[in-house]
Structure 1
Amino acid sequence: MEDSLPRDPLIERRHFDSVQEGLWARLSIAQKFSASSLVKYGYELAFIRHSSSNSVAVMLLDDKITTISSDGEIDTAPNIKLR
């Protein structure tokens, strides 16, 4: 007997899309503009880090990490490490 049931790819994609929509809604206008330019190259919005003074959006493409500051500045060589 098989322990795991096959997952419906359509349902999985809908969940991913709703998570992505939630992340995009939390970006500033400047971040949305910068992020949309990176999406054209294949980057995906991974997560947003908030601090008391600003937020930083983190986008990934394969093993490349790129950050976008709250004012829309793109950093293609950030000094961060992902776990």
Structure 2
Amino acid sequence: MQALSERESLLERRHNAQDYSLLWDKLTLAQKFAASSLTQFGYDLAYLRNSNSGSVAILLCDGNAATITGDGEIDTAPNVKIRT
């Protein structure tokens, strides 16, 4: 039973790694550079929001959000609501 649980855990992590990779591929080059710098401070890429003005990357760190615009502008105090 424990082996099955460990296997499911590994599969879940693998699935999340694939999702992360797909998200990363959708970032602009400027967003990738900015996100790379934020990951050094513990932020993780959570998702992308698309709007008429372009995509915004949302990164999370200990319940705090940061956003990166399509041109790489970082906002570590954005006015966004994060669903939990």
- Normalised by the size of structure 1, how large is the TM-score? 0.88
Where do residues 6-45 of structure 1 align in structure 2 (5 Å cutoff)?
6-8=5-7, 9-45=9-45
Distance 1:26 1:62 in 2: 24
Deviates more, 1:5-14 or 1:20-29: 5-14
Q: Secondary structure at the match of 1:50?
A: strand
Runs of 5+ in structure 1 lacking a partner? none
The Cα RMSD (Å) is 1.5
Q: Give 1:52's aligned residue.
A: 52
Asked if residue 63 in structure 1 is aligned to residue 56 in structure 2, the reply is no
Give the secondary structure class of the aligned counterpart of 1:6.
helix
TM-score, normalised relative to structure 2: 0.87
Partner of 1:79: 79
* Structure with more of its chain in helix, by fraction: 2
Aligned length: 80
The AA in structure 1 aligned to 2:59 is M
SS at match of 1:20: helix
